[in-house]
């Protein structure tokens, strides 16, 4: 718990900001490497004293929001974000920000604080905040433009990204130019680094209590976080699998059983393949041509708890013995020198 006041000595001290952190429970995160994604956001308070609530959350292994710290400040400005992020950096002992990623609504004061305190960190733009600005553009055309926007967000290859942007350009050149003017590295997965970041909405935990007084609001938020951690811990102890439930569910949704050991594998963006485990075949023909299970077949096997080696039994090579006694020496060519043959002597 940290707080700051101005005015001295007492009783002329006035509250300016308070920060409260949630301790990292042992076993929730084994190391800082698992807590490398942060979502920063803020909302204004409706209580008598006003102010703003700033929140920092992470994402755990089950894709759930994990509250890291929250603070109440007089106003959301550069000084407040610097103070909050400095405490976050100190408490989490972040010495190297190379593997850290922050996602925010791209407020100028927040971005400046991140670049100063975490110079090597990646900064991503919240896709929903960007969409709210995108749909207010003059050339925005309803449902077709909305679907194209989210397709541009989710594609994973730069070539697919350019195709979607070309499709958007045919709908409206002005909106495509505005969106292309934003750095794609901050909002398009196709231009992200190898670690994918997720867009999360964070104000749900604070909107319910933000009309209360400051101390009451902090107590409500703390209690909600505390009960959530306890319930998540109990649920984790009951789950017998090796993967977290939400991750297992995502893997299960990719495969659709079609009967007779056949599965339809959904690769996203309309790409689907049919895997026939019984006949060792896949519709992309890689398994049929090479004899080695492709990635679609392996995903089906992993879901069924089968091993790849069990699908392709390796038999010993067939032996065909030639007639007669096997020769031990190699047959030499006509122009090759033979050992033990006639020798030439030097003559005068």
pLDDT of amino acid 313: 53
**Is the separation of the CB atoms in 190 and 156 below 8 Å?**
yes
Alpha-carbon distance of 335 to 314, in angstroms, equals: 43
- Long-range own/partner contacts, residues 113-117 (CB < 8 A, 24 or more apart): 113/78, 113/81, 113/82, 113/85, 114/85, 116/82, 117/82, 117/85, 117/86, 117/89
Q: How far is CA 121 from the centre of its chain?
A: 15
Dump strand ranges (E) for the chain. Answer: 2-6, 14-21, 37-44, 52-59, 65-73, 101-104, 122-125, 255-259, 262-266, 272-276, 281-282
Alpha-carbon span 124 to 106, nearest angstrom = 8
Count Cβ atoms below 10 Å from residue 266 Cβ, excluding itself.
14
- Yes or no: say if 291 and 279 are a contact pair by the CB < 8 Å rule: no
pLDDT tens, per residue, the chain with 348 residues: 565 555 444 544 444 555 554 443 333 344 444 566 788 888 777 777 778 888 888 877 777 777 788 888 888 888 888 888 888 888 877 777 777 788 877 677 888 888 888 888 888 877 787 888 888 777 777 788 888 888 888 877 788 888 888 888 888 888 888 888 888 887 787 777 655 444 443 334 445 666 777 788 888 888 888 888 888 888 888 877 777 777 777 666 566 766 777 888 887 666 788 888 888 888 877 777 767 778 788 778 777 765 445 555 556 667 777 788 877 777 777 767 767 666 667 766
Sheet holding 281-282, edge to edge: 255-259, 262-266, 272-276, 281-282
Strands 37-44 and 101-104: parallel
The helix (H) or strand (E) run that includes residue 171 is helix 158-171
Please state, in angstroms and rounded to a whole number, the distance separating the CA atoms of residues 122 and 102: 6
For the chain, what are the domain ranges? 2-125+199-237, 127-191, 245-308
Residue 314 pLDDT = 53
Q: How many of the other CB atoms lie within 10 Å of CB of 204?
A: 10
CB 287, CB 305: distance < 8 Å: no
> Taken in order 126, 129, 131, 133, is the CA torsion positive or negative?
negative
For 154, which DSSP code? Answer: H
SS3 164: helix
Which option is the CATH number for 2-125+199-237: 1.10.3470, 3.40.50, 1.10.10, 3.30.420? 3.30.420
């Amino acid at each position: 718990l940290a707080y700051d006041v101005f005015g001295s000595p007492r009783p002329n001290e006035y509250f300016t900001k308070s920060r409260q952190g949630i301790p990292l429970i042992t076993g929730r995160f084994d190391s800082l490497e698992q807590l490398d994604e942060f979502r920063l956001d803020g909302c204004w308070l409706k209580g008598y004293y006003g102010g703003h609530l700033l929140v920092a959350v992470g994402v755990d292994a089950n894709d759930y929001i994990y509250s890291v710290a929250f603070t109440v400040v007089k106003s959301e400005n550069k000084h407040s974000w610097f103070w909050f992020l400095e405490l976050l950096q100190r408490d989490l002992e972040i010495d190297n920000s190379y593997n850290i990623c922050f996602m925010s609504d791209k407020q100028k004061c927040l971005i400046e604080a991140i670049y100063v305190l975490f110079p090597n960190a990646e900064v991503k733009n919240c896709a929903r905040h960007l969409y709210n600005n995108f749909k207010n553009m003059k050339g925005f055309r309803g449902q077709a433009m909305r679907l194209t926007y989210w397709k541009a967000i989710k594609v994973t290859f730069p070539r697919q990204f350019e195709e979607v942007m070309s499709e958007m350009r045919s709908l409206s050149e002005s909106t495509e130019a505005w969106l292309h003017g934003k750095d794609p590295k901050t909002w398009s997965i196709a231009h992200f680094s190898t670690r994918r970041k997720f867009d999360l909405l964070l104000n749900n935990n604070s909107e319910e209590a933000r009309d209360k007084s400051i101390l009451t609001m902090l107590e409500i938020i703390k209690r909600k976080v505390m009960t959530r951690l306890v319930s998540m811990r109990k649920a984790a102890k009951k789950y017998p699998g090796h993967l977290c439930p939400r991750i297992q569910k995502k893997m299960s949704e990719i495969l659709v059983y079609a009967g007779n050991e056949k599965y339809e594998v959904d690769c996203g963006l309309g790409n689907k393949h049919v895997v026939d485990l019984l006949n060792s075949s896949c519709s992309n023909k890689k398994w049929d041509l090479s004899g080695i299970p492709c990635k679609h077949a392996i995903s089906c096997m992993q879901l069924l708890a089968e091993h790849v080696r069990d699908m392709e039994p390796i038999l010993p090579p067939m032996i065909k013995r030639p007639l007669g006694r096997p020769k031990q020496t190699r047959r030499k060519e006509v122009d090759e020198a033979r050992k033990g043959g006639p020798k030439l002597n030097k003559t005068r």
